[in-house]
């Protein structure tokens, strides 16, 4: 089991994402990095950041940190409170509905991301595959 969020969880996620052939297929034209922001909430004292460099269906590198100075400026950010991330990873919240209901915020080109909703869904599904404790 991997504690979310943590360096160990991030590494496990990175490996599972790169092993996911469905993700690789649906994101085969995607070029763009994204930072997942886990905002402090009950159970998490400090904001945490997971930077993912995504390119043509693979994750080229990741950075996990609690210091925003240590991550590159990314094309997209997807942020939400720790409690909502728990629900997302446990498949209790749909990632797009999460934005529409204010549980998550997305920054970046919406037109681009809306053409890759399948890849986005598979990214979330992959997170659910990481054995997680909170």
Contact set with other proteins (CB under 8 A): 22, 25-26, 94, 96-97, 99-101, 106, 109-111, 113-118, 120-121
In the complex with other proteins, the residue whose CB is nearer, 61 or 118, is: 118
Cβ nearer to other proteins, comparing 56 with 118? 118
**Least separation, in Å, of the C-beta of 22 and other proteins?**
5
The least CB distance from residue 110 to other proteins, in Å, is: 4
Angle subtended by helix axes 82-89 and 117-129, to nearest 10: 90
């Amino acid at each position: 089991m991997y504690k979310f969020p943590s360096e160990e969880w991030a590494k496990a996620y990175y490996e599972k994402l790169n092993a996911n052939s469905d993700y690789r297929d649906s994101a085969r034209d995607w070029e763009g990095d994204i930072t997942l922001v886990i905002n402090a909430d009950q159970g998490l004292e400090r904001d945490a950041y997971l930077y993912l460099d995504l390119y043509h269906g693979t994750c080229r590198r990741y950075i996990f940190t609690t210091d925003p100075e240590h991550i590159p400026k990314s094309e997209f950010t997807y942020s939400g409170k720790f409690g909502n991330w728990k629900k997302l990873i446990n498949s209790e919240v749909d990632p797009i509905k999460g934005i529409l209901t204010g549980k998550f915020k997305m920054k970046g080109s919406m037109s681009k991301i809306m053409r890759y909703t399948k890849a986005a869904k598979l990214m979330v599904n992959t997170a659910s595959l990481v054995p997680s404790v909170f």
